Amino acid sequence: MLPILQRWHPKMTPYRLVVLLTTIGLGTAKAIMAHCGNSIVSTTLEWISGVLLFLILHGLSGYDSYRVRLPPQISWFFEYDCVEFAWRRLAQLRWLSIAVPEYSSDERLYLHMRNRYSKYPPVTLYRLLVSFTAVSFGMTKAYLSYAGLNIAATWTDWLLGVAATTCLYVVGLYEYNSVDMWHTFFVVDQSHAIMSISKATMYIGGITLSAAWCFGCLYGIHIYWRDPWLIFDAVITNGRKSEVSSTLTPTFIDDIHNFCLHLMMSAFILAASSVGIKFGAACYDEVWYVVYGSSVHMLAKRGRGYILRKIESILSSYLTVTTRRRVQRVFFSLWVCAGIAMYLVAIAGAFAMSIVWFGFTIRFRHRQPAPESENGSDSAVAILILYIFLISSSGVGLLCVGLALYFARSMVRMNWAREYARY
């Protein structure tokens, strides 16, 4: 049994009894009348309990607190403990042999001292439970009413208005207990956790949108390669399609140009998808930052560290120095190959761009005949454009080749320097 100073129960004052009895009595009577089909009586009781009594009891609720000094004429209505009176009456019945329990009923003024100067009320688990209960029952009743299930909606209204409200009201009387009972449930502010959860939910929605964007880009690439669209095969002349392109058969340069066009458009679509990937990665970082401080992450980090230490100790006992050096050389070779592959991709992209522009010039001159008077000037302009793009693309390709060779040379020399430093 707990000591007397650690046993606490709220006072059941006449005001609190009136709140409970009117809620239970009028709510139950309203549900029964609605179930029997007497809508007039049910509506009248709902108006009495939901409007008239609510306004009166809500106006008097400000006096139901230790922070208010009451006049002696009405103090009994908010301070007299009816439960204590009942215990004393039962103790006077000797044949029952009931002892009056001893406990404290003093309430504290504030849930926490810092809440006294806070601009916002604390978001505790009890208040979250009240809000969640009201929202869930309200939405359930609305759905049942719109679905035409009037009987189910009536008794759902009774569960929320009578049973759930009564239980939550009685539990709420313990909120300002002076013995720090249920500290986590009544006192601890959960606003930071709520903000973290809402922020994580928002960023998870961002990750979902970025994934949908990337999937759409990849699906666009699939459609583009499956149903090719030859851009320069249909030439628009004076608002009508020219019949020149339909009479010419595709050449080898046309096929190469179409393939390069596919590569270029796929690169553009992948670049667009990379924007979605970057956005999703940023959202993932924010979600990970929220989860980083949680206890689950701390336990996972400790378990991962323990497993990695065990694996390292096992491998260090079996691997010799020569084997370790070979493993390091393998990883170094893979790193060099990855760097060279990256530059080779850049070289391929540069030459693909040169072929694309080369195809633009040739196909444009081949598919759209120019006037005889301007034939020579157009040919000169086309050749000039061809040489400009060939030189620029070849320059970029040679630059990538030089960077790849420089990267490989620097990596090899760095590896040799490390090998010589060991000896």
Structural contact between residues 124 and 187, judged by C-beta atoms closer than 8 angstroms: yes
What average pLDDT score do residues 302-324 get?
A: 62
Q: Please, how many CA atoms are within 13 Å of residue 132, restricted to the half-sphere of its CB?
A: 7
Structural contact between residues 242 and 236, judged by C-beta atoms closer than 8 angstroms: yes
pLDDT at 160: 84
pLDDT grade for 75, boundaries at 50, 70 and 90:
confident
Whether the model clears a pTM of 0.85, i.e. scores above it, the answer is no
C-alpha 247/C-alpha 235 separation (Å) is 12
Kindly tell me if the per-residue pLDDT of 191 is higher than 60: yes
Residue extents of the structural domains in the chain: 4-189, 194-316, 319-423
Q: What share of the chain is helix, strand, coil (3-state, %, to 5)?
A: 75, 0, 20
What average pLDDT score do residues 84-94 get?
A: 79
pLDDT at 117: 60
pLDDT at 69: 74
H, E, C per residue of 221-234: HHHHHHCCCCCCCC
Place of tokens 């880009």: 217
What average pLDDT score do residues 305-319 get?
A: 64
Kindly tell me if the per-residue pLDDT of 361 is higher than 80: no
What average pLDDT score do residues 76-92 get?
A: 83
pLDDT at 55: 86
Main-chain dihedrals φ then ψ at residue 8, nearest 5 degrees: -140, 135
pLDDT at 106: 80
pLDDT grade for 238, boundaries at 50, 70 and 90:
very low
What average pLDDT score do residues 240-244 get?
A: 45
Kindly tell me if the per-residue pLDDT of 224 is higher than 70: no
Which amino acid is present at 222?
Answer: H
C-alpha 55/C-alpha 48 separation (Å) is 10
CA 201 vs CA 135, 206, 290: distances in Å: 19, 9, 11
pLDDT at 38: 82
User: DSSP letter string over 288-325?
Assistant: HHHHHTSHHHHHHHHHHHHHHHHHHHHHHHH--HHHHH
pLDDT per position as a tens digit, 147-185: 888 888 888 888 888 889 899 999 988 888 888 888 888
* Closest to 68 in 3D by CA, of 77, 171, 113: 77
Of the listed ranges 189-198, 272-281, 296-305, 366-375, the least confidently predicted one is 366-375
Place of tokens 């039962």: 90
Structural contact between residues 277 and 207, judged by C-beta atoms closer than 8 angstroms: no
Report the percent of the chain where pLDDT is more than 90. 1
Kindly tell me if the per-residue pLDDT of 322 is higher than 60: no
Q: C-alpha angle 149/152/153, rounded to 5°? A: 80
pLDDT per position as a tens digit, 9-66: 888 888 999 999 988 888 888 888 888 888 888 888 888 877 888 888 888 887 787 6
pLDDT grade for 349, boundaries at 50, 70 and 90:
low
Kindly tell me if the per-residue pLDDT of 103 is higher than 70: yes
Q: Look up residue 219 and give its two tokens.
A: 């699906």
Helix or strand (DSSP H, E) at 236? strand 236-237
Kindly tell me if the per-residue pLDDT of 70 is higher than 70: yes
Average pLDDT, the chain: 71
Kindly tell me if the per-residue pLDDT of 108 is higher than 60: yes
CA 29 vs CA 43, 161, 169, 363: distances in Å: 11, 12, 20, 87
pLDDT at 188: 81
Structural contact between residues 276 and 219, judged by C-beta atoms closer than 8 angstroms: no
Helix or strand (DSSP H, E) at 237? strand 236-237
Kindly tell me if the per-residue pLDDT of 76 is higher than 80: yes
Main-chain dihedrals φ then ψ at residue 173, nearest 5 degrees: -65, -20
C-alpha 283/C-alpha 416 separation (Å) is 42
C-alpha 78/C-alpha 184 separation (Å) is 28
pLDDT at 109: 73
Structural contact between residues 13 and 60, judged by C-beta atoms closer than 8 angstroms: no
C-alpha 78/C-alpha 64 separation (Å) is 6
pLDDT at 229: 46
Cβ neighbours of residue 23 closer than 8 Å, sequence gap 6 or more: 49, 161, 162, 165, 166, 169
Main-chain dihedrals φ then ψ at residue 69, nearest 5 degrees: -90, 120
pLDDT at 397: 59
pLDDT per position as a tens digit, 250-293: 566 566 666 666 666 666 666 667 677 667 666 666 666 655 55
Cβ neighbours of residue 267 closer than 8 Å, sequence gap 6 or more: 349
